[in-house]
Amino acid sequence: MTRRGRFITLEGSEGAGKSTNMDAVCDHLAACGVDYYPTREPGGTPMAEALRNLLLSRWEESVSGLSELLVVFAARAQHIENEIIPRLQRGQWVVCDRFTDATFAYQGHGRKVPLARIEQLETWVQGQLQPDLTLYLDVAVEVAQRRVDAREAEKDRLELEQRDFFTRVREGYLQRAEQHKRIVVINAGQELAQVQEDVVQVVSRFVDQHHKGS
Ligand code: TMP
């Protein structure tokens, strides 16, 4: 695949401040004159959004890690083929709220699905496609949980998980960050303004290196 656009992803546990920082990333790209497209996973196309609803709904039966894995990759296949790749090929940048690092963290470490299975699906569904830059917003599990508890919205099926689960998810993300240079860990336990400043600094450096028009 020849692709001219860049692919940036944002990761972090619930309560890490992903949404606000996603806005900060997008505002910065806009200010630099980058043509970008914001999207999210699971989701980003009508069918993938329907699969997202299936994943996050509460069911009167247990849901296995394998089922979750297949749902997120079904959504991802749709998203990659119909949105991500065509846009990157046209030269647009894609900014995605979560991608496959979340699958390794949630289904791999959280649900204990063997990582080798996830790697197989990753190769099958994504081919060579990998993010160019990933910002991982890291925050202590207790802090993140307090923030989620303070929200008014009803918790989805994954937000209802216990502390042990989120501890494993965090360990999973940190392990991936050690293994992949594209993942930059941001301390999301700081004041929001400082977190945003750190995020923008990383994105700004990336834009300087990769955006020819800047
Ligand atoms: P969020 O958009 O609020 O981050 O919610 C998405 C939820 O989906 C979140 O609990 C993490 C979960 N998820 C997975 O379990 N696996 C995945 O591969 C992705 C992309 C998300």
Query: Dihedrals φ, ψ of 129, to 5°?
Result: -70, 120
DSSP per residue, 143-177? HHHHHHHH--SPP-TTTT--HHHHHHHHHHHHHHH
What is the rounded CA–CA span in Å between residue 207 and residue 153? 35
Atom of ligand 1 at shortest range from CA of 100? 18
Determine the Cα–Cα distance for residues 32 and 191; give it in Å rounded to an integer: 25
Answer yes or no: pTM beyond 0.95. Answer: yes
What pLDDT does 2 receive? 67
Residue for token digits 């917003």? 137
Tokens of 162: 């216990």
What is the bridge-based pairing of β-strands 93-97 and 36-40? Answer: parallel
Q: What mean pLDDT comes out for the span 97-126? A: 98
Q: How far apart are CA 175 and CA 183, in angstroms?
A: 10
pLDDT at 29: 98
Reply yes or no on whether the pLDDT at 214 is more than 60: no
Look at residue 37 in the predicted model and tell me its pLDDT: 98
Say how many Å lie between the CA of residue 98 and the centre of ligand 1.
7
pLDDT score of 61: 97
For ligand 1, atom 18, the nearest C-alpha belongs to 103
| Distance separating alpha carbons of residues 167 and 122, to the nearest angstrom | 24
pLDDT for 213: 66
| Torsions phi, psi for 21 (to 5 deg) | -75, -30
Residue located nearest, by CA, to atom 19 of ligand 1: 102
Query: In this predicted structure, what is the pLDDT of residue 136?
Result: 98
- pLDDT tens digits, one per residue of 56-109: 999 999 999 999 999 999 999 999 999 999 999 999 999 999 999 999 999 999
pLDDT tens track for 7-26: 999 999 888 889 999 999 99
* Residues 135-165 pLDDT 10s: 999 999 999 988 888 888 899 999 999 999 9
- Show the ligand 1 pocket: residues with CB < 6 angstroms: 14, 40-42, 68, 72, 97-98, 102-103, 106-107, 158
Could you give the CA distance from residue 152 to residue 1 in angstroms, rounded to a whole number? 44
* Residue 73 alpha carbon, nearest atom of ligand 1: 18
Which candidate, 119, 114, 126, places its Cα nearest to that of 179?
119
